[in-house]
Chains A and B, each alone.
Chain A
Amino acid sequence: MKNLSKHRYDYFLIWGNGLEYRENIINIIAECNFLEILKITNYKTSNIKKFIRKVYSYDYAPFEHLRAKTRYLLKSSPEIVVIFVLNKNPDERWYGEGLFKHIECMKVKKLKEKLRNQFNPTVNGKRTEEHVVHSSDNEIQTENMLKIMGFKRGLDTFRTQKHSLLDLPYYLPKINKFTIKQVCMSKLYCNVLSGNHNEYLLQRKPVTSSPHYLSLKRNDMKLYSKYINCFMGGPLNSYYSVKKFKSLIRNLIYPNEKSYIIVEKMESDKFLILDGLHRASILMFRNKVEIPVILVEQ
């Protein structure tokens, strides 16, 4: 069997009964080389029954077949976490029989089973079928899930930079005109969150006041860890981890023509970082005085 497409978008959903393993599950997904976490979204529903129906509306089996299988979810918390990923090397194959025959990525299926084996509740040492994780079989399901989460553009949410001259994160608008110039590190500002997951405040501060830089300066990753655990899935919807940050600290080579720190101009010759706060913090910690950045033209 050969792959039918070069890459595709998938998602993993952590049901309420698996939220206690949230961090572990996200880290296992992040460690898979064929996946790149694009977005983590927390979602609270007022009607879990309706939500389950929506999630399974693009499934191959009619919902009547799934009703018994999903009954346990009605008792679980109405909170869920959805992790959208870029599947860089899907292994798509036909799966199932007769009416329910469909194409699935074997790698995603294998990972889902691994997570279920590890985190599903057990009875007498045996795994139950009360799944903590659900995943997509195809991109249509991912599109549907994005729309349920309120991203009306569906998969186009991730495809904004398709024709851009540089590799840019999906959450930035398409940048067609930019200037690369040297700027003084002391003129770089960033958005820092304060408060809690549900009620937070965004403040503009110099890079030296960010939890990223302070963790490096104090040689204490707890500050950074606390910050990302507090806001990831909410206002911070990319994937961050201490491990990932430490790896960046070791391997960062900057400037790099593939990835620049992206800034926009604030008042009086100050620049706000739109993408690259981690890199800026590391460079600041390395005592760099000036660095090249991409200045986005308004």
Chain B
Amino acid sequence: MKIKKLDLNEFFSVLETIPYVLVKKSKSFPDYHTGQDADIFCYNKREVVRKILGVGNGYLSDGYVIKTEGISPDHCQVDFVHNNVLVFKFDIFTAFPEYEKLSIKNHYFNSIIEGAVGVKCKFRDKKYHLYVPSSVDDLLIRYFEYLEYYDRRPDKLKHLDYILNAIEKTGKMRIGFFDKLHIYTEFPESNMSTSRYKYGFKIKNFLHWLVPLRKRFESLKHSMKFFFK
């Protein structure tokens, strides 16, 4: 049975009135392949979820099931599933995902939404704006993903090629990229301050003192034994 395609233009046309950005927009938008996802950065995930569900209601009679899950206070997912197969996923964020390898300043998230660029699109002959991050922000978001996952997910290498291609094209882009990178990112806190390290250090320190103490106690025991003999 042929599955009715979701019209992504319909979903994003209703989001036009609220602040959001569609991150890492695929070149084939509004077309998609089964299992693809769309990352949305926004301020109010309830509002975005409601709008998506409002459009999604229209697909229920075509056999779709909508699965919604709050992953964390800043992240939720809305999945469109057909015959137990994930067709499309909306990943909605109200803050940057937790990265292990780099630390991004919180206000950069807001800066991305505020600096959104409207791309003209059409839904049923009606024009609307699809909001995406500015080109520099788009490159930075891809760079963050590359840094975080390049050793675990080879598919993320595509981001580096994309960034290098874009940076090489104009000098202005290169300056903007490095400027924002330095303003909004910092090195993650050193391992030295993690609790695991702290407790490890304390145990090691304790053992360091325990060994000579034990030796002294043994010699004392020995001398007392000798004395009372």
Closest-by-CB residue of B relative to A165 is B49
B61 touches A257 (CB 8 A): no
Chain B residues within an 8 Å CB radius of A255: 57, 60
Interface residues of A in 176-199 (CB under 8 A from B): 176-182
Once A165-B46, A290-B61 are accepted as A-B contacts, the answer to whether A180 and B53 lie under 8 Å apart by CB is: yes
Once A165-B45, A165-B76, A257-B53 are accepted as A-B contacts, the answer to whether A182 and B67 lie under 8 Å apart by CB is: no
Interface size bracket, A side: 10 to 19
B66 at the interface (CB under 8 A from A): yes
Once A165-B46, A257-B54, A258-B50 are accepted as A-B contacts, the answer to whether A180 and B61 lie under 8 Å apart by CB is: no
Chain B residues within an 8 Å CB radius of A182: 60-61
Chain A residues within an 8 Å CB radius of B57: 180, 255, 257, 292
Chain A residues within an 8 Å CB radius of B61: 182, 290
Interface residues of B in 57-89 (CB under 8 A from A): 57, 60-61, 65-70, 73, 76
Extra A-B contacts (8), CB below 8 Å, given A163-B70, A257-B57, A292-B60: A165-B45, A176-B70, A177-B70, A178-B67, A178-B69, A179-B67, A180-B56, A257-B51
Interface size bracket, B side: 10 to 19
**Contact among B54, B60, B69, B73 for A177, CB-based, below 8 A:** B69
User: 18 interchain pairs (CB within 8 A)?
Assistant: A165-B46, A165-B49, A165-B70, A166-B46, A177-B67, A177-B68, A177-B70, A179-B65, A179-B66, A179-B68, A180-B53, A181-B66, A255-B60, A257-B50, A257-B51, A257-B54, A257-B57, A292-B60
Once A255-B57, A257-B57, A290-B61 are accepted as A-B contacts, the answer to whether A180 and B50 lie under 8 Å apart by CB is: no
B68 touches A178 (CB 8 A): yes
Interface residues of A in 73-87 (CB under 8 A from B): none
Q: With the chains together, A255 CA to B59 CA distance in Å?
A: 12
What is the CB-to-nearest-CB distance from B70 to chain A, in angstroms, rounded to a whole number?
4
Chain A residues within an 8 Å CB radius of B68: 165, 177-180
What is the CB-to-nearest-CB distance from A10 to chain B, in angstroms, rounded to a whole number?
25
Indicate with 1 or 0, residue by residue over A87-123, a CB within 8 angstroms of chain B CB atoms: 0000000000000000000000000000000000000
B65 touches A181 (CB 8 A): yes
A176 touches B50 (CB 8 A): no
Q: Mark B residues whose CB is within 8 Å of A.
A: 45-46, 49-51, 53-54, 56-57, 60-61, 65-70, 73, 76
What is the CB-to-nearest-CB distance from B223 to chain A, in angstroms, rounded to a whole number?
63
Q: Mark A residues whose CB is within 8 Å of B.
A: 163-166, 176-182, 255, 257-258, 290, 292
Once A257-B54, A290-B61 are accepted as A-B contacts, the answer to whether A163 and B73 lie under 8 Å apart by CB is: yes
Chain A residues within an 8 Å CB radius of B60: 180-182, 255, 292
What is the CB-to-nearest-CB distance from A164 to chain B, in angstroms, rounded to a whole number?
8
Chain A residues within an 8 Å CB radius of B50: 166, 257-258
What is the CB-to-nearest-CB distance from B55 to chain A, in angstroms, rounded to a whole number?
9
Q: With the chains together, A258 CA to B53 CA distance in Å?
A: 9
B65 touches A180 (CB 8 A): yes
Chain B residues within an 8 Å CB radius of A163: 70, 73
Please name the 10 residue pairs, one residue from A and one from B, whose CB atoms are nearest each other, closest first. Answer: A257-B54, A180-B66, A176-B70, A257-B53, A177-B69, A181-B65, A255-B57, A257-B50, A292-B60, A182-B60
Q: With the chains together, A93 CA to B203 CA distance in Å?
A: 59
Chain A residues within an 8 Å CB radius of B45: 165
Chain A residues within an 8 Å CB radius of B46: 165-166
What is the CB-to-nearest-CB distance from A182 to chain B, in angstroms, rounded to a whole number?
5
Q: With the chains together, A176 CA to B60 CA distance in Å?
A: 21
Q: With the chains together, A258 CA to B96 CA distance in Å?
A: 27
Q: With the chains together, A135 CA to B76 CA distance in Å?
A: 40
What is the CB-to-nearest-CB distance from B62 to chain A, in angstroms, rounded to a whole number?
10
Residue picked from A166, A178, A180, A255, most chain B C-beta under 10 Å: A180
What is the CB-to-nearest-CB distance from B61 to chain A, in angstroms, rounded to a whole number?
6
Q: With the chains together, A200 CA to B115 CA distance in Å?
A: 60
Chain A residues within an 8 Å CB radius of B51: 257
Closest-by-CB residue of A relative to B54 is A257
What is the CB-to-nearest-CB distance from B143 to chain A, in angstroms, rounded to a whole number?
31
Closest-by-CB residue of A relative to B77 is A177
Q: With the chains together, A257 CA to B52 CA distance in Å?
A: 9
